[in-house]
Protein backbone atom coordinates (compact mmCIF):
# COMPACT_ATOMS: atom_id res chain seq x y z
CA UNK A 1 0.00 0.00 0.00
CA UNK A 2 2.95 2.32 0.75
CA UNK A 3 4.35 1.91 -2.76
CA UNK A 4 0.89 2.44 -4.24
CA UNK A 5 0.47 5.67 -2.27
CA UNK A 6 3.91 6.84 -3.48
CA UNK A 7 2.92 6.07 -7.09
CA UNK A 8 -0.34 7.96 -6.62
CA UNK A 9 1.54 10.96 -5.22
CA UNK A 10 3.86 10.97 -8.25
CA UNK A 11 0.74 11.09 -10.45
CA UNK A 12 -0.79 14.07 -8.62
CA UNK A 13 -0.51 16.30 -11.71
CA UNK A 14 -2.51 13.78 -13.70
CA UNK A 15 -5.08 13.76 -10.91
CA UNK A 16 -5.31 17.55 -11.02
CA UNK A 17 -5.80 17.51 -14.81
CA UNK A 18 -8.52 14.86 -14.57
CA UNK A 19 -10.37 16.84 -11.91
CA UNK A 20 -10.23 20.05 -13.95
CA UNK A 21 -11.42 18.18 -17.05
CA UNK A 22 -14.34 16.55 -15.19
CA UNK A 23 -15.46 19.90 -13.78
CA UNK A 24 -15.18 21.59 -17.16
CA UNK A 25 -17.14 18.83 -18.92
CA UNK A 26 -19.81 18.74 -16.23
CA UNK A 27 -20.66 22.43 -16.57
CA UNK A 28 -19.69 23.26 -20.16
CA UNK A 29 -23.28 23.22 -21.48
CA UNK A 30 -24.71 24.96 -18.40
CA UNK A 31 -25.54 28.67 -18.31
CA UNK A 32 -25.21 28.89 -14.53
CA UNK A 33 -22.14 26.64 -14.39
CA UNK A 34 -20.73 26.13 -10.91
CA UNK A 35 -23.70 27.92 -9.39
CA UNK A 36 -25.63 24.65 -9.72
CA UNK A 37 -23.39 23.19 -7.02
CA UNK A 38 -24.88 25.85 -4.71
CA UNK A 39 -28.45 26.04 -6.00
CA UNK A 40 -29.22 22.34 -5.51
CA UNK A 41 -28.27 22.07 -1.80
CA UNK A 42 -29.84 25.46 -1.02
CA UNK A 43 -33.05 24.33 -2.73
CA UNK A 44 -33.08 21.07 -0.78
CA UNK A 45 -32.45 23.00 2.42
CA UNK A 46 -35.43 25.27 1.73
CA UNK A 47 -37.72 22.27 1.18
CA UNK A 48 -36.69 20.47 4.36
CA UNK A 49 -36.88 23.70 6.36
CA UNK A 50 -40.49 24.15 5.22
CA UNK A 51 -41.40 20.57 6.15
CA UNK A 52 -39.55 20.22 9.45
CA UNK A 53 -39.04 23.85 10.42
CA UNK A 54 -42.55 25.09 9.59
CA UNK A 55 -45.03 22.22 9.31
CA UNK A 56 -43.50 20.10 12.08
CA UNK A 57 -41.65 22.82 13.95
CA UNK A 58 -42.81 21.70 17.42
CA UNK A 59 -41.49 18.15 17.10
CA UNK A 60 -38.27 19.39 15.53
CA UNK A 61 -37.46 22.08 18.09
CA UNK A 62 -37.77 19.72 21.06
CA UNK A 63 -34.64 17.86 19.96
CA UNK A 64 -32.61 20.60 18.27
CA UNK A 65 -31.44 22.29 21.45
CA UNK A 66 -29.05 25.13 20.60
CA UNK A 67 -29.84 24.71 16.90
CA UNK A 68 -33.56 25.43 17.37
CA UNK A 69 -33.14 29.13 16.58
CA UNK A 70 -30.98 28.54 13.51
CA UNK A 71 -32.44 25.42 11.96
CA UNK A 72 -31.77 26.56 8.34
CA UNK A 73 -28.05 26.70 9.15
CA UNK A 74 -28.26 23.21 10.70
CA UNK A 75 -29.91 21.94 7.53
CA UNK A 76 -27.58 23.63 5.04
CA UNK A 77 -24.48 22.43 6.92
CA UNK A 78 -25.61 18.83 6.66
CA UNK A 79 -26.91 19.04 3.10
CA UNK A 80 -23.73 20.66 1.72
CA UNK A 81 -21.66 17.81 3.19
CA UNK A 82 -24.22 15.25 1.98
CA UNK A 83 -24.09 16.54 -1.60
CA UNK A 84 -20.34 15.94 -1.59
CA UNK A 85 -20.77 12.40 -0.23
CA UNK A 86 -23.68 11.30 -2.43
CA UNK A 87 -22.36 12.73 -5.71
CA UNK A 88 -18.86 11.39 -5.02
CA UNK A 89 -20.19 7.87 -4.39
CA UNK A 90 -22.48 8.00 -7.42
CA UNK A 91 -19.84 9.26 -9.81
CA UNK A 92 -16.97 7.19 -8.42
CA UNK A 93 -18.99 4.01 -8.86
CA UNK A 94 -18.83 4.35 -12.66
CA UNK A 95 -15.44 6.09 -12.73
CA UNK A 96 -13.80 3.08 -14.41
CA UNK A 97 -16.63 1.95 -16.68
CA UNK A 98 -17.12 5.49 -17.95
CA UNK A 99 -13.44 6.10 -18.75
CA UNK A 100 -12.34 2.73 -20.11
CA UNK A 101 -10.37 4.19 -23.04
CA UNK A 102 -8.40 6.59 -20.83
CA UNK A 103 -7.69 3.89 -18.26
CA UNK A 104 -6.23 1.51 -20.83
CA UNK A 105 -4.09 4.17 -22.52
CA UNK A 106 -2.85 6.46 -19.71
CA UNK A 107 0.20 5.31 -17.78
CA UNK A 108 -1.00 6.35 -14.31
CA UNK A 109 -2.18 4.42 -11.23
CA UNK A 110 -5.78 3.43 -11.84
CA UNK A 111 -6.78 4.68 -8.40
CA UNK A 112 -6.47 8.17 -9.85
CA UNK A 113 -9.81 7.84 -11.65
CA UNK A 114 -12.18 7.13 -8.71
CA UNK A 115 -10.18 9.40 -6.41
CA UNK A 116 -10.47 12.14 -9.03
CA UNK A 117 -14.26 11.97 -8.78
CA UNK A 118 -14.12 12.34 -4.98
CA UNK A 119 -11.71 15.28 -5.30
CA UNK A 120 -13.87 16.99 -7.91
CA UNK A 121 -16.95 16.81 -5.71
CA UNK A 122 -14.90 18.16 -2.81
CA UNK A 123 -14.04 21.17 -4.97
CA UNK A 124 -17.78 21.81 -5.33
CA UNK A 125 -18.23 21.49 -1.56
CA UNK A 126 -15.38 23.94 -0.96
CA UNK A 127 -17.00 26.37 -3.41
CA UNK A 128 -20.10 26.41 -1.20
CA UNK A 129 -18.25 27.10 2.05
CA UNK A 130 -18.38 30.92 1.63
CA UNK A 131 -22.19 30.67 1.38
CA UNK A 132 -22.30 28.52 4.50
CA UNK A 133 -20.02 30.91 6.38
CA UNK A 134 -22.14 33.86 5.27
CA UNK A 135 -25.33 32.24 6.63
CA UNK A 136 -23.51 31.42 9.87
CA UNK A 137 -22.29 35.01 10.16
CA UNK A 138 -25.90 36.28 9.98
CA UNK A 139 -26.99 33.98 12.80
CA UNK A 140 -23.88 34.81 14.83
CA UNK A 141 -24.62 38.54 14.47
CA UNK A 142 -28.08 37.92 15.94
CA UNK A 143 -26.69 35.84 18.80
CA UNK A 144 -28.26 32.59 17.55
CA UNK A 145 -24.93 30.74 17.41
CA UNK A 146 -21.62 31.27 19.18
CA UNK A 147 -18.85 29.67 17.14
CA UNK A 148 -15.44 29.38 18.76
CA UNK A 149 -13.10 26.44 19.18
CA UNK A 150 -15.74 24.29 17.52
CA UNK A 151 -14.68 25.73 14.13
CA UNK A 152 -11.77 23.27 14.34
CA UNK A 153 -14.30 20.51 13.72
CA UNK A 154 -14.39 21.54 10.04
CA UNK A 155 -10.92 20.26 9.01
CA UNK A 156 -11.48 17.13 11.07
CA UNK A 157 -14.87 16.48 9.45
CA UNK A 158 -13.47 17.08 5.94
CA UNK A 159 -10.45 14.82 6.54
CA UNK A 160 -12.45 11.90 7.93
CA UNK A 161 -15.08 12.23 5.20
CA UNK A 162 -12.38 12.30 2.51
CA UNK A 163 -10.81 9.13 3.92
CA UNK A 164 -14.18 7.37 3.97
CA UNK A 165 -15.17 8.45 0.46
CA UNK A 166 -11.83 7.42 -1.05
CA UNK A 167 -12.18 3.95 0.46
CA UNK A 168 -15.77 3.56 -0.74
CA UNK A 169 -14.98 4.90 -4.22
CA UNK A 170 -12.08 2.49 -4.73
CA UNK A 171 -14.17 -0.48 -3.63
CA UNK A 172 -17.30 0.37 -5.63
CA UNK A 173 -15.54 1.46 -8.83
CA UNK A 174 -13.75 -1.89 -9.10
CA UNK A 175 -16.80 -3.97 -8.18
CA UNK A 176 -19.00 -2.10 -10.65
CA UNK A 177 -16.82 -3.18 -13.58
CA UNK A 178 -17.36 -6.84 -12.67
CA UNK A 179 -20.97 -6.52 -11.48
CA UNK A 180 -22.87 -3.73 -13.22
CA UNK A 181 -25.77 -4.02 -10.76
CA UNK A 182 -23.64 -2.22 -8.17
CA UNK A 183 -24.42 1.18 -9.70
CA UNK A 184 -28.20 0.63 -9.50
CA UNK A 185 -27.93 -0.87 -6.03
CA UNK A 186 -26.00 2.13 -4.73
CA UNK A 187 -28.72 4.53 -5.88
CA UNK A 188 -31.08 2.80 -3.46
CA UNK A 189 -28.50 2.68 -0.67
CA UNK A 190 -27.79 6.40 -1.01
CA UNK A 191 -31.49 7.23 -0.64
CA UNK A 192 -31.64 5.11 2.50
CA UNK A 193 -28.44 6.63 3.92
CA UNK A 194 -29.82 10.15 3.59
CA UNK A 195 -32.55 9.40 6.12
CA UNK A 196 -30.42 6.97 8.16
CA UNK A 197 -27.90 9.73 8.91
CA UNK A 198 -28.41 12.82 11.13
CA UNK A 199 -28.46 15.37 8.31
CA UNK A 200 -31.87 16.99 8.61
CA UNK A 201 -32.52 15.87 12.19
CA UNK A 202 -30.33 15.77 15.33
CA UNK A 203 -28.77 12.56 16.63
CA UNK A 204 -30.60 13.02 19.94
CA UNK A 205 -33.86 12.30 18.12
CA UNK A 206 -32.61 8.75 17.48
CA UNK A 207 -31.02 8.27 20.90
CA UNK A 208 -34.19 9.38 22.70
CA UNK A 209 -36.49 7.30 20.51
CA UNK A 210 -38.16 4.07 21.58
CA UNK A 211 -36.21 1.93 19.12
CA UNK A 212 -34.45 -1.19 20.50
CA UNK A 213 -30.95 -0.63 21.83
CA UNK A 214 -29.38 -2.87 19.19
CA UNK A 215 -30.91 -0.73 16.43
CA UNK A 216 -29.42 2.43 17.96
CA UNK A 217 -26.01 0.75 18.27
CA UNK A 218 -26.16 -0.43 14.64
CA UNK A 219 -27.22 3.06 13.58
CA UNK A 220 -24.13 4.65 15.15
CA UNK A 221 -21.79 2.11 13.55
CA UNK A 222 -22.35 3.99 10.30
CA UNK A 223 -19.27 6.27 9.98
CA UNK A 224 -21.39 8.93 8.30
CA UNK A 225 -23.25 9.48 11.59
CA UNK A 226 -20.12 10.72 13.35
CA UNK A 227 -18.98 12.64 10.28
CA UNK A 228 -22.20 14.64 10.09
CA UNK A 229 -22.08 15.23 13.82
CA UNK A 230 -18.67 16.80 13.24
CA UNK A 231 -20.07 19.00 10.48
CA UNK A 232 -22.90 20.19 12.74
CA UNK A 233 -20.47 20.68 15.62
CA UNK A 234 -18.75 23.44 13.63
CA UNK A 235 -21.57 25.80 14.71
CA UNK A 236 -23.08 23.80 17.60
CA UNK A 237 -20.42 22.51 20.03
CA UNK A 238 -23.00 20.35 21.83
CA UNK A 239 -23.28 18.23 18.67
CA UNK A 240 -19.61 17.19 18.83
CA UNK A 241 -19.55 13.36 18.90
CA UNK A 242 -18.63 11.69 22.17
CA UNK A 243 -15.41 9.67 22.44
CA UNK A 244 -17.08 6.36 21.55
CA UNK A 245 -18.83 7.72 18.45
CA UNK A 246 -15.72 9.63 17.32
CA UNK A 247 -13.54 6.52 17.69
CA UNK A 248 -16.10 4.43 15.78
CA UNK A 249 -16.20 7.01 12.99
CA UNK A 250 -12.44 7.41 12.58
CA UNK A 251 -11.65 3.69 12.84
CA UNK A 252 -14.53 2.76 10.55
CA UNK A 253 -13.39 5.27 7.91
CA UNK A 254 -9.78 4.04 8.08
CA UNK A 255 -10.93 0.43 7.86
CA UNK A 256 -12.99 1.20 4.73
CA UNK A 257 -9.99 2.97 3.20
CA UNK A 258 -7.76 -0.08 3.75
CA UNK A 259 -10.43 -2.51 2.52
CA UNK A 260 -11.17 -0.36 -0.52
CA UNK A 261 -7.51 0.06 -1.43
CA UNK A 262 -6.73 -3.65 -0.93
CA UNK A 263 -9.80 -4.74 -2.91
CA UNK A 264 -8.96 -2.38 -5.77
CA UNK A 265 -5.43 -3.78 -6.03
CA UNK A 266 -6.66 -7.38 -5.92
CA UNK A 267 -9.39 -6.79 -8.50
CA UNK A 268 -7.31 -4.58 -10.81
CA UNK A 269 -6.17 -7.39 -13.19
CA UNK A 270 -9.73 -8.65 -13.62
CA UNK A 271 -10.99 -5.08 -14.04
CA UNK A 272 -8.45 -4.30 -16.78
CA UNK A 273 -9.31 -7.54 -18.56
CA UNK A 274 -13.02 -6.68 -18.44
CA UNK A 275 -12.43 -3.12 -19.69
CA-closest candidate to residue 230, choices 77, 84, 83: 77
Distance CA(220)–CA(249), nearest Å, equals 9
pLDDT of residue 127: 83
Residue 32 is predicted with a pLDDT of 58
Domain extents in the chain: 10-274
Yes or no: say if 66 and 156 are a contact pair by the CB < 8 Å rule.
Answer: no
Ranges of the chain with pLDDT below 50? none
Using DSSP, state whether 144 is helix, strand or coil: coil
Please tell me the predicted confidence (pLDDT) of residue 182.
Answer: 85
Nearest Cα to Cα of residue 81 among 189, 220, 235? 235
Instruction: Give the pLDDT confidence score for residue 4 in this predicted structure.
Output: 63
DSSP labels for 150-178? GGGHHHHHHHHHHHHHHHHHHHHHHHHHH
What's residue 156's pLDDT?
95
> Residue 150: what pLDDT?
86
Q: How high is the pLDDT of residue 55?
A: 54
153 contact partners, CB below 8 Å, separation of at least 6 = 230, 231, 233, 234, 240
pLDDT digits (tens, 9 = 90+) for 207-256: 888 889 899 999 999 999 999 999 999 999 888 999 999 999 999 999 99
Confidence at residue 62, expressed as pLDDT on a 0 to 100 scale: 65
DSSP 9: H
**pLDDT in the model for residue 31:** 53
Amino acid sequence: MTSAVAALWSARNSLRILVKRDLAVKYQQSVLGYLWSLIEPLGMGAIYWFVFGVLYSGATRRHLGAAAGSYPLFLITGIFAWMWASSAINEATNALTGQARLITTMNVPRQVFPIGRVTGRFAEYAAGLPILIGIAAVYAAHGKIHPGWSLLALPLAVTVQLVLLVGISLLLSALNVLMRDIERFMRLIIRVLFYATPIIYPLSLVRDSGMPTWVKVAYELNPLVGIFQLHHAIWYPDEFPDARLLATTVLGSLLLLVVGWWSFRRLEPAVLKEL
